[in-house]
Amino acid sequence: MSWQARVISFLLRHTFKPRLARARDITAVRKAMNVPFARALPGVRIENGFLGGVPGEWLRAQGANAQTEIATLIYFHGGGYFACSPRTHRPVTSAFALSGFHTFAPAYRLGPEHPFPAALEDALSVYRALLARRAAGSLVVAGDSAGGGLATALLVALREQGLPAPAAAALFSPYVDLAASGASVRFNSERCAMFNSKLLPLAAAFYVGERGDPRAPLASPLYADLHGLPPLLIHVGEQETLLDDSLRLAARAEQAGVQVRLKVWPDVPHVWQLFHRWIPEGRMSLREASEFLASHVSASRAAEAATACSRQKRMAGG
């Protein structure tokens, strides 16, 4: 693909990756994963807020309002379930805001201080709070890495609890297998620009604990029953250690009857959408995700309108 993507991947592979590999405790790992360039795009308003008791950031394009926006989007940041925050992922959340989504990025609780299922409980609280204000067809979810895994686990939990699903979900390099059983964990360990295979067991231990089950379906939704989920867009890089998480999730979801749009991108680092200011593939991915989510919001609203019209006709005829 682009020379910019290859340059960013080279820089990450020779700076960020070795620094992360040298980290030996939670403080050092979190420091290594800090994103110093995480600034919102111009033209976006950011407000602190709470949903369902969970703190986070609201992002909205300047001049936008409920009548002009496409939908409300919940964005779950990545960071292995133990690092990062809504602030670190402002390059992505602000891009969604400029694309017409009123975006909430929750500061869900992180391990190891708050292990599984704390993050999922926060995700459910946020979604329920929005569902009390909006129709499910006007809601969408997205996330990257661990945030993509959390978004997927949320969809499974909503189905299990009998709650209506959002219109669609966009997942960027989702981390959905804490057991790290995919072949790409090994064959891409050196090729991946950001992570080697040694980091993944550490992240899993921070999230589910030393004695927790890394294959628990709501911690690792790759092992969950995926039937009934809304349409999914999945973007992943071909050189990532997490490549097989996406490939297997897409395959299992399609087998369960879920509509899936999977795209594997060459020469990009993990969650390259964060670098969209410099990488054209980042802008392309965010644009495709926004268009995907918007199209399914439109379809959900049309279906809701048709159902309401049919109900009114039946009542009139009765």
Question: Within 10 A of 299 (CB to CB), how many other CB atoms are there?
Answer: 14
Give CA–CA dist 122/127, Å, rounded.
9
Best CA proximity match to 141, nearest among 158, 116, 118:
158
**Terminal CA-CA length for the chain:** 61
Out of 9, 94, 138, 145, pick the active-site residue: 145
**Has 270 been annotated as catalytic?**
yes
Question: Within 10 A of 209 (CB to CB), how many other CB atoms are there?
Answer: 14
Asked if omega into 112 is within 30° of 0 (cis), the reply is yes
Place of tokens 């405790």: 25
Give CA–CA dist 219/213, Å, rounded.
8
The answer to whether the beta carbons of residues 186 and 197 sit under 8 Å apart is: yes
Give CA–CA dist 124/63, Å, rounded.
30
Where does 132-242 have alpha helices with state H? 146-160, 184-187, 199-208
Out of 240, 281, 285, 296, pick the active-site residue: 240
How many helices (H) and strands (E) the chain has is answered by 10, 8
190 CB-side CA count, 13 A: 1
Best CA proximity match to 86, nearest among 76, 98, 73:
76
**Has 238 been annotated as catalytic?**
no
Out of 89, 102, 235, 270, pick the active-site residue: 270
Strand partners, 101: 71
The answer to whether the beta carbons of residues 96 and 58 sit under 8 Å apart is: no
* Alpha-carbon distances of 277 from 34, 213, 282, rounded to whole Å: 18, 39, 8
**Has 102 been annotated as catalytic?**
no
The answer to whether the beta carbons of residues 63 and 50 sit under 8 Å apart is: no
Which residues belong to the active site? 145, 240, 270
